[in-house]
């Protein structure tokens, strides 16, 4: 028989194997909630392992295909997606991956529970996490604007558990002249129609999950002379259906699908809006503020994706270390190799706990249980976590790839896909520097409060662990960091002073 020289790394039920996740839930969830959630997550973990992971690989092998014309020369602009991708949509509805957060069965814990399911789903989702992020963001915007009229219908579809009824949403913000500077880069114009709806004319440069049912997008409303207000105050938010009931595009042409480094399972298109019928859903000129609710949700999804991909890579790496021999012993018995894995493990654990803290706070905010301080903290932590974990995920993925040696570089192991897909996490949903500026925006807006809240929260947490001997060096370092920040603030005169100094 053939000698076995290289064993494939694998993992079991991702929920049962995730000891940090399980201990977090045990410590934080009320017992009754824990009992129900545990049962569901164990079942979901098995479904992921046996049914969903194979679909994910199918999505990677069968990326979307764009067909512009049919055999008879008619323009069809059809984006063909594979059956596994369609199945992911059904599974997302069945599992309530969006619904859970809006039904609020477990009050303030529903959001955290949803985030945990998304975290487990993410690395087996074949890219479907992307439309789910935007779907969640759209539901959040609609909820925050008030659910009425046609938005009620859209909200019901976005939050449905019925696969026949479930819709996904796109988020069309980026145009050719500006993805970060949306306020000045948006050229799309909205012309009002006699029935009160609008028709949109413009070009959307990046539109992911272009097979979605609906989208939220920004445009400038033209006045009777065809003039538009420029800058941020000229932007309004619109809701549109991508296709009508017969599947015909809503006066939209697909220019092409993007040829991407990663996220290849999912269609990202360039779209011409040629009079797409849309509904104004924000106050005129309040488009950026209104879509910020979407951004804050999709940025949390970005954190979920970052933590999930780190978890997956490291779990596989740990398993491989228990199987692969080098220099006469298993990798796990080489202290230097174990140190490399341990460093990554610390990174993913820190990122996971930060994510849990954010969704815990979000759950409180959404059930009116958050104090003003907790709301400020949430606003601050979202961009911080997105920018930090976005970068961290690709660094960890590179390190983890090396831990498999040459096999880590081989396409058919599935490992390079994870690396490619993490590389986008620091670009979309706001680049690192744009999010740094958003941190400053949140500091400036809180007028001297958020930094104080942040520092006292860190101080409180520090006290909880200050008697743990093993943590003494870390506690000391954190104390020093808090001290320097306080000094810096004092020197700046106030938090506003600090913000201005940083901004300068």
What is the contact surface with ligand FAD in residues (CB under 6 A)? 170-174, 178-181, 206-208, 260, 263, 268, 424, 427-428, 430-431, 433-434
> Which of 179/350 has CB closer to ligand MFK?
179
CA separation for the pair 151, 173 (Å, rounded): 19
Q: C-beta of 262: minimal distance to ligand FAD in Å?
A: 7
Partner touching 133 among ligand MFK, ligand FAD, none, CB below 5 to 8 Å by kind? ligand MFK
Q: C-beta of 287: minimal distance to ligand FAD in Å?
A: 13
Task: Count the neighbouring beta carbons within 10 Å of the beta carbon of residue 366.
Answer: 19
Return the residue matching tokens 């409303």: 221
Partner touching 207 among ligand FAD, ligand MFK, none, CB below 5 to 8 Å by kind? ligand FAD
171 CB-near residues (< 8 Å, 6+ apart): 134, 137, 138, 208, 215, 216, 217, 291, 294, 298
Return the residue matching tokens 């000129």: 285
The H helix count followed by the E strand count for the chain is 17, 11
Q: C-beta of 433: minimal distance to ligand FAD in Å?
A: 4
> Which of 172/320 has CB closer to ligand MFK?
172
Partner touching 289 among ligand MFK, ligand FAD, none, CB below 5 to 8 Å by kind? ligand MFK
The alpha carbon dihedral of 419, 424, 426, 429 has a sign of: negative
Q: C-beta of 19: minimal distance to ligand MFK in Å?
A: 24
Contact between residue 301 and residue 389 where contact means Cβ atoms under 8 Å apart: no
Which residues are 66's β-sheet partners? 79
* Residue number closest to ligand FAD, CB atom: 179
> Which of 396/425 has CB closer to ligand FAD?
425
Partner touching 305 among ligand FAD, ligand MFK, none, CB below 5 to 8 Å by kind? ligand MFK
> Which of 232/253 has CB closer to ligand MFK?
232
Q: Is 198 left (phi over 0), alpha (psi -120 to 50) or beta?
A: beta
Contact between residue 279 and residue 236 where contact means Cβ atoms under 8 Å apart: no
Partner touching 296 among ligand FAD, ligand MFK, none, CB below 5 to 8 Å by kind? ligand MFK
Task: Count the neighbouring beta carbons within 10 Å of the beta carbon of residue 49.
Answer: 19
Q: C-beta of 161: minimal distance to ligand FAD in Å?
A: 25
> Which of 319/438 has CB closer to ligand MFK?
438
> Which of 53/426 has CB closer to ligand FAD?
426
> Which of 25/254 has CB closer to ligand FAD?
254
Contact between residue 447 and residue 500 where contact means Cβ atoms under 8 Å apart: no
> Which of 259/470 has CB closer to ligand FAD?
259
- For the chain, the farthest-separated pair of C-alpha atoms sits apart, in whole angstroms, at 82
Q: C-beta of 300: minimal distance to ligand MFK in Å?
A: 9
Q: C-beta of 319: minimal distance to ligand MFK in Å?
A: 24
Residues that bind ligand MFK (CB under 6 A): 129-130, 133-134, 171, 173-174, 180, 182-183, 208, 232, 288-289, 292, 295-296, 298, 301-302, 305, 428-430, 434, 438, 441, 445
> Which of 405/448 has CB closer to ligand MFK?
448
CA separation for the pair 52, 30 (Å, rounded): 29
CA separation for the pair 350, 59 (Å, rounded): 30
Structural tokens at position 110 = 């529903």
Q: C-beta of 238: minimal distance to ligand FAD in Å?
A: 13
Q: C-beta of 482: minimal distance to ligand FAD in Å?
A: 28
Q: C-beta of 143: minimal distance to ligand MFK in Å?
A: 15
Cα 97 → chain centroid: 13
For every residue of 445-466, DSSP letters joined together read HTTT-HHHHHHHHHHHHHHHHT
CA separation for the pair 218, 370 (Å, rounded): 30
Angle between helices 110-122 and 287-321 (to 10 degrees): 50
CA separation for the pair 115, 135 (Å, rounded): 14
Partner touching 302 among ligand FAD, ligand MFK, none, CB below 5 to 8 Å by kind? ligand MFK
- Alpha helical stretches, state H, 276-414: 287-321, 335-366, 372-402
Partner touching 354 among ligand FAD, ligand MFK, none, CB below 5 to 8 Å by kind? none
Partner touching 342 among ligand FAD, ligand MFK, none, CB below 5 to 8 Å by kind? none
> Which of 173/356 has CB closer to ligand FAD?
173
> Which of 210/321 has CB closer to ligand FAD?
210
> Which of 437/455 has CB closer to ligand FAD?
437
Task: Count the neighbouring beta carbons within 10 Å of the beta carbon of residue 432.
Answer: 14
Q: C-beta of 231: minimal distance to ligand FAD in Å?
A: 15
Partner touching 496 among ligand FAD, ligand MFK, none, CB below 5 to 8 Å by kind? none
CA separation for the pair 219, 279 (Å, rounded): 11
Partner touching 295 among ligand FAD, ligand MFK, none, CB below 5 to 8 Å by kind? ligand MFK
CA separation for the pair 238, 215 (Å, rounded): 8
Q: C-beta of 434: minimal distance to ligand MFK in Å?
A: 5
For every residue of 198-235, DSSP letters joined together read EEEEEEEEEEESTT-SEEEEEEEEP-TTS----SGGGE
């Amino acid at each position: 028989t053939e000698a076995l020289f290289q064993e494939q790394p694998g993992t079991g039920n991702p929920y049962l194997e995730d000891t940090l996740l399980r201990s977090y839930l045990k410590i934080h969830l009320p017992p009754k909630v824990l009992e129900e959630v545990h049962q569901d997550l164990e079942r979901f973990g098995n479904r992921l392992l046996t049914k969903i992971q194979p679909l994910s690989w199918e999505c990677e092998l069968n990326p979307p295909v764009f067909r512009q014309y049919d055999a008879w020369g008619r323009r069809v602009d059809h984006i063909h997606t594979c059956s596994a991708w369609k199945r992911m949509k059904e599974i997302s509805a069945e599992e309530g991956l969006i619904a859970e957060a809006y039904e609020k069965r477990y009050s303030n814990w529903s959001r955290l529970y949803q985030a945990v399911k998304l975290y487990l789903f993410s690395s087996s989702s074949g890219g479907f996490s992307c439309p789910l992020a935007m779907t969640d963001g759209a539901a959040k915007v609609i909820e925050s604007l008030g659910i009425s009229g046609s938005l009620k219908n859209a909200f019901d579809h976005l939050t449905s558990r019925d696969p026949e009824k479930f819709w996904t949403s796109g988020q069309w913000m980026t145009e050719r002249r500006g993805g970060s500077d949306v306020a000045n880069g948006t050229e799309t114009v909205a012309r009002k129609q006699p029935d009160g709806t609008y028709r949109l004319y413009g070009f959307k440069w990046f539109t992911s999950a272009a097979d979605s049912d609906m989208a939220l997008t920004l445009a400038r409303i033209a006045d009777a002379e065809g003039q538009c207000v420029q800058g941020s105050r000229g932007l309004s938010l619109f809701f549109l259906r991508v296709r009508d009931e017969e599947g015909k595009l809503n006066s939209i042409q697909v220019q092409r699908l993007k040829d991407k480094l990663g996220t290849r399972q999912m269609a990202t298109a360039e779209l011409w809006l040629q009079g797409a019928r849309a509904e104004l859903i924000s106050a005129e000129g309040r488009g950026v503020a209104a879509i910020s609710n979407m951004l804050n949700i999709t940025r949390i999804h970005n954190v979920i994706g970052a933590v999930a991909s780190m978890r997956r890579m490291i779990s596989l790496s740990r398993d491989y270390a228990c199987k692969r021999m080098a220099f006469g012993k298993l990798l796990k018995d080489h202290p230097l190799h174990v140190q490399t894995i341990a460093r990554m493990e610390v990174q993913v654990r820190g990122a996971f706990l930060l994510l849990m803290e954010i969704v815990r706070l979000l759950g409180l905010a959404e059930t009116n249980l958050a104090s003003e301080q907790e709301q400020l903290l949430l606003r601050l932590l979202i961009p911080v976590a997105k920018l930090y974990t976005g970068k961290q995920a690709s660094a960890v993925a590179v390190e983890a790839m090396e831990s498999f040696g040459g096999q880590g570089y081989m396409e058919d192991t599935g490992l390079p896909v994870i690396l490619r897909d993490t590389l986008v996490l620091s670009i979309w949903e706001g680049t690192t520097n744009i999010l740094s500026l958003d941190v400053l925006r949140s500091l400036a807006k809180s007028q001297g409060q958020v930094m104080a809240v942040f520092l006292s929260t860190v101080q409180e947490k520090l006290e909880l662990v200050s008697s743990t001997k093993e943590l003494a060096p870390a506690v000391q370092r954190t104390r020093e960091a808090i001290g320097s920040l306080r000094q810096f603030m004092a020197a700046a005169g106030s938090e506003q002073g600090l913000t201005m100094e940083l901004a300068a």
